[in-house]
């Protein structure tokens, strides 16, 4: 490390267990220890790959940019995420890596976690509103949780993405989003910023009453200047594509985004570059996509800096105004004085420039906003074609994750029954958002048929419920679910499970049998059932039988019946059903004989 000091310092963290306090780096032009800043150098106690350290830096910088976006909406209290970089001990065995960030003075508080809300005597509104904001402002593609730090200066956040594949093992995907919203009660900041409440059952809302009362006692006062999430009045420099939604468009189920604002979303500014190219001499991430903006827009950026709270001072938000005043006075100093000041900060001037570039790049995003409530999500989905409705709503996936958590007993006390009513509530909301598994599950449940999801739940056997069941199954069949197609075809064929508002119709049955037989592609939910729960030869034989006799709105067609019996025989032979194949060949001859008559 040269002229620097690392001393062991206990740092409580669930993952990063070894931390050190650092002062006085090689880059100083003075040996004044008193004026040197305190930093924390952190290392995983268990050996991890080097990529993990770089991924953690990317995560924290992504979160910092979302903090900037939140601040643009003029909340009562602005937030900031501590800057983080990586240092490498080149002269030590194995060249170990450390995370390096400012040491934060003050009381360290965890406001929420991967598991949702954290109770604390010093209840805060801003951290919970910030998490909710990131979910809506990103179009449900991500949420930032695990908010912790001093005041509104946060560190070590976690990002959950729809795919759940980025940002290490802490990324729980839609399950993490579900955990947050199960414990989140919208506060007055959420309301002032136009964030929609997440749909919860009456029992879940009652369980949050205690949290709601704590939130009402919070001291934060609204200024009345808050901008609605995604408001066109929030300043942006242009309509360029949004950063931060790195790779999400490629993996996300929400293909409709590519048709509107998410047309070919860019990767994360840091994700496409090898680590060796991403780091400058201070191991600070360098984002190549931003460099092109600097020369033509840097004067603009300099003006922005005064009003955006962009950089990380290393101090809680309460002290930022003092630092900004100090920075304003020092602008008149000579270049050499500024050189000394920047050298004293061991992150270096290039680090601050990189962050300023990122702030400029971050401000150049289109307005993307999706409310957290299902009613507005349904309105959006109704404007889409069928193939873009099914399985394309991240909000639907979050509700389905809530169902699984309820069924697994995650949301109930030990040795107590889980909340079936709330689970059914979220299953219906997931179905409303076009989640195919939920649609099929509800169809089977209402139709009094065996179902794999919420298998312990039994609904009352009424005409209304059976009608609902068939409606859901028909909807699943239209989305391309092969088992549902067969169930719908059987219902029209036999009149069983058809509901009270429909009649037996072989013409409709023939249509759905054909649809199931021709099902060789993925359904709209991205799945394909290759097990063929109904063998092909049985479906062909049933079609042939209906055409041979006719009835229930279907005309007789002996010729087509004979052809289908022949196809059924060939399929049976392929399935090693020789005796059955011979019977089908005989039936085909009988059908063709009817033509001569």
Chain CA centroid to CA 315, Å:
31
Confidence tier at 210 by pLDDT (50, 70, 90): confident
The interaxial angle of helices 420-432 and 436-446, nearest 10 deg, is: 120
User: Looking at the predicted structure, is the pLDDT value of residue 60 above 60?
Assistant: yes
Q: Do residue 336 and residue 382 come from a single domain?
A: no
**Position 548 in a domain:** no
Q: How many structural domains does the chain have?
A: 2
Q: What is the predicted pLDDT for the residue at 523? A: 53
Give me the DSSP letters along 15-78.
S--EEEEEE--TT-SS--GGGPPPEEEEE-SS---HHHHHHHHHHHHHHHHHHHHHHHT--SS-
Q: Do residue 218 and residue 277 come from a single domain?
A: yes
Mean pLDDT of 408-436: 94
Q: What is the predicted pLDDT for the residue at 451? A: 94
The interaxial angle of helices 482-494 and 436-446, nearest 10 deg, is: 30
Q: Is the dihedral of CA 529, 530, 533, 534 positive or negative?
A: positive
Q: Do residue 138 and residue 285 come from a single domain?
A: yes
46-52, long-range: CB < 8 A, 24+ apart? 50/97, 50/275, 51/275, 52/168
Mean pLDDT of 38-64: 91
pLDDT, tens digit (0-9, with 9 covering 90-100), for 159-202: 999 999 888 889 999 999 999 999 998 999 999 999 999 999 99
The CATH number linked to 452 is 1.25.40.10
- Pick from 4-13, 226-235, 578-587: least confident: 4-13
pLDDT, tens digit (0-9, with 9 covering 90-100), for 124-159: 889 999 999 999 999 999 999 999 999 999 999 999
* Range among 89-103, 325-339, 357-371 rated most confident: 89-103
Q: What is the 3-state secondary structure (H, E, C) of 99-151?
A: EEEECCCCCCEECEECCEECCCCCCCCHHHHHHHHHHHHCCCCEEEECCEEEC
**Position 299 in a domain:** yes
Mean pLDDT of 528-534: 56
Q: Do residue 16 and residue 112 come from a single domain?
A: yes
Q: What is the predicted pLDDT for the residue at 169? A: 87
Q: What is the predicted pLDDT for the residue at 166? A: 86
**Position 287 in a domain:** yes
Q: Cα dist. 488→44, 474, 493, 496, 500 in Å?
A: 56, 6, 8, 10, 14
Chain CA centroid to CA 597, Å:
65
Q: What is the predicted pLDDT for the residue at 357? A: 53
Q: Do residue 43 and residue 67 come from a single domain?
A: yes
Write out the two tokens for 67. 């903090």
The closest alpha carbon to 69, from 395, 308, 420, 314, belongs to: 308
Higher-pLDDT residue of 13 and 506 is 506
Q: Do residue 358 and residue 383 come from a single domain?
A: no
**Position 554 in a domain:** no
The SS3 assignment for 85 reads strand
Confidence tier at 122 by pLDDT (50, 70, 90): low
Higher-pLDDT residue of 227 and 298 is 227
Give me the DSSP letters along 444-494.
HHHTT---STTTT------HHHHHHHHHHHHHHHHTT-HHHHHHHHHHHHH
Q: What is the predicted pLDDT for the residue at 444? A: 97
Mean pLDDT of 342-370: 52
Q: Is the dihedral of CA 227, 232, 238, 240 positive or negative?
A: positive
End-to-end CA distance of the chain: 100
Mean pLDDT of 111-116: 83
Higher-pLDDT residue of 193 and 29 is 193
Q: What is the predicted pLDDT for the residue at 139? A: 93
Q: Do residue 231 and residue 311 come from a single domain?
A: yes
Contact between 233 and 463 under an 8 Å Cβ cutoff? The reply is: no
Q: Do residue 63 and residue 191 come from a single domain?
A: yes
The interaxial angle of helices 335-344 and 320-330, nearest 10 deg, is: 150
Higher-pLDDT residue of 161 and 383 is 161
Confidence tier at 113 by pLDDT (50, 70, 90): confident
Q: What is the predicted pLDDT for the residue at 239? A: 41
Contact between 153 and 82 under an 8 Å Cβ cutoff? The reply is: yes
Q: Do residue 299 and residue 387 come from a single domain?
A: no
Mean pLDDT of 238-248: 45
Confidence tier at 20 by pLDDT (50, 70, 90): low
Q: Which residues contact 463 (CB under 8 A, 6 or more apart)?
A: 499, 500
Q: Do residue 357 and residue 441 come from a single domain?
A: no
**Position 539 in a domain:** no
Higher-pLDDT residue of 185 and 2 is 185
Q: Do residue 130 and residue 42 come from a single domain?
A: yes
What rounded mean pLDDT belongs to the chain? 77
User: Looking at the predicted structure, is the pLDDT value of residue 333 above 70?
Assistant: no
Q: What is the predicted pLDDT for the residue at 324? A: 43
Query: CA-to-CA distance for 421 and 527, rounded, in angstroms?
Result: 28
User: Looking at the predicted structure, is the pLDDT value of residue 8 above 80?
Assistant: no
Q: Do residue 309 and residue 395 come from a single domain?
A: no
Q: Please indicate, yes or no, whether the overall pTM of this predicted structure exceeds 0.85.
A: no
Domain boundary among 363, 383, 403: 363
> In this structure, what is the dihedral angle of CA atoms 291, 295, 299, 301, given to the nearest 10 degrees?
-10
Q: Which residue has the tokens 């800057």?
A: 83
Its domain, for residue 491, covers: 374-534
Domain boundary among 534, 559, 579: 534
Domain boundary among 483, 499, 534: 534
**Position 521 in a domain:** yes
* Range among 81-85, 287-291, 403-407 rated most confident: 403-407
Query: CA-to-CA distance for 180 and 408, rounded, in angstroms?
Result: 17
Confidence tier at 434 by pLDDT (50, 70, 90): very high
pLDDT, tens digit (0-9, with 9 covering 90-100), for 537-571: 999 999 999 999 999 999 999 999 999 999 999 99
**Position 117 in a domain:** yes
Q: What is the predicted pLDDT for the residue at 135? A: 96
Q: Which residues contact 479 (CB under 8 A, 6 or more apart)?
A: 386, 389, 390, 434, 436, 439, 523, 524, 525
91-98, long-range: CB < 8 A, 24+ apart? 96/43, 97/43, 97/50, 97/53, 98/20, 98/41, 98/42, 98/43
Q: What is the predicted pLDDT for the residue at 582? A: 97
Between CA 61 and CA 67, with CA 313 as vertex, the angle to 5 degrees is 40
Q: Which residues contact 538 (CB under 8 A, 6 or more apart)?
A: 568
Write out the two tokens for 75. 């909340």
**Position 224 in a domain:** yes
């Amino acid at each position: 490390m040269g002229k620097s000091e690392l001393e062991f310092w206990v740092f409580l963290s669930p993952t990063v267990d070894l931390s050190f306090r650092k002062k006085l780096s090689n880059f100083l032009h003075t040996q004044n220890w008193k004026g040197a800043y305190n930093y924390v150098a952190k290392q995983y106690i268990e050996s991890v790959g080097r990529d993990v350290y770089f991924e953690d830096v990317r995560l924290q910088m992504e979160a910092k940019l979302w903090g900037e976006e939140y601040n643009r909406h003029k909340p009562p209290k602005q937030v900031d995420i501590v800057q983080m970089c990586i240092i490498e001990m080149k002269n030590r065995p194995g060249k170990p890596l450390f995370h390096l960030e400012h040491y934060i003075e003050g009381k360290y508080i965890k406001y929420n976690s991967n598991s949702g809300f954290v109770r604390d005597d010093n209840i805060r509104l801003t951290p919970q509103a910030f998490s909710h904001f990131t979910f809506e402002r990103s179009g449900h593609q991500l949420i930032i949780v695990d908010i912790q730090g001093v005041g509104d200066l946060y560190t070590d956040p976690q990002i959950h993405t729809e795919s759940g594949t980025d940002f290490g093992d802490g990324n729980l995907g839609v399950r993490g989003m579900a955990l947050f919203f199960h414990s989140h009660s919208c506060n007055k900041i959420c309301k002032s910023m136009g964030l929609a409440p997440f749909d919860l059952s009456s029992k879940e809302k009652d369980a949050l009453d205690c949290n709601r009362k704590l939130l009402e006692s919070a001291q934060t006062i609204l200024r009345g200047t808050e901008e609605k999430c995604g408001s066109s009045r929030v300043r942006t420099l242009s309509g360029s594509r949004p950063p931060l939604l790195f790779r999400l468009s490629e993996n996300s189920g929400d293909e409709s985004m590519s048709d509107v604002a998410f047309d070919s979303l860019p990767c994360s500014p840091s994700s496409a570059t090898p680590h060796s190219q991403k780091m400058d001499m201070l191991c600070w991430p360098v984002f190549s996509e931003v460099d092109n903006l600097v020369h033509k827009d840097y004067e603009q950026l300099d003006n922005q800096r005064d009003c955006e709270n962009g950089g990380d001072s290393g101090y809680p938000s309460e002290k930022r105004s003092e630092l900004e005043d100090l920075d304003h006075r020092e602008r008149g100093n000579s270049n050499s004085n500024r050189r000394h000041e920047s050298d004293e900060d061991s992150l270096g001037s290039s680090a601050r420039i990189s962050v300023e570039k990122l702030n400029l790049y971050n401000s150049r995003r289109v307005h993307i906003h999706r409310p957290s409530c299902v009613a507005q999500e349904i309105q959006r989905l109704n404007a889409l074609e069928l193939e873009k409705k099914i399985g394309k709503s991240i909000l639907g996936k979050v509700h389905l994750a809530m169902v699984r958590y309820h069924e697994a007993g995650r949301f109930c006390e030990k040795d107590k029954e889980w909340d079936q009513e709330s689970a059914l509530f979220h299953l219906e909301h997931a179905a409303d958002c076009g989640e195919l598994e939920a649609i099929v599950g509800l169809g089977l449940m209402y139709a009094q048929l065996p179902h794999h999801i919420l298998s312990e739940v039994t609904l009352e056997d009424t005409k209304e419920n059976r009608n609902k069941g068939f409606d859901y199954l028909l909807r699943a069949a239209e989305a391309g679910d092969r088992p549902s197609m067969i169930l719908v075809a059987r219902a029209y064929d036999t009149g069983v499970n058809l509901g009270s508002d429909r009649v037996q119709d072989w013409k409709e049955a023939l249509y759905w049998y054909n649809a199931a037989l021709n099902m060789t592609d993925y359904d709209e939910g991205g799945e394909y059932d290759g097990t063929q729960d109904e063998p092909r030869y049985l479906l062909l034989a049933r079609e042939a039988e209906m055409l041979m006799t006719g009835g229930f709105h279907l005309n007789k067609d002996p010729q087509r019946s004979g052809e289908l019996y022949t196809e059924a025989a060939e399929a049976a032979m392929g399935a090693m059903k020789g005796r059955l194949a011979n019977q089908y060949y005989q039936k085909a001859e009988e059908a063709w004989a009817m033509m001569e008559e």
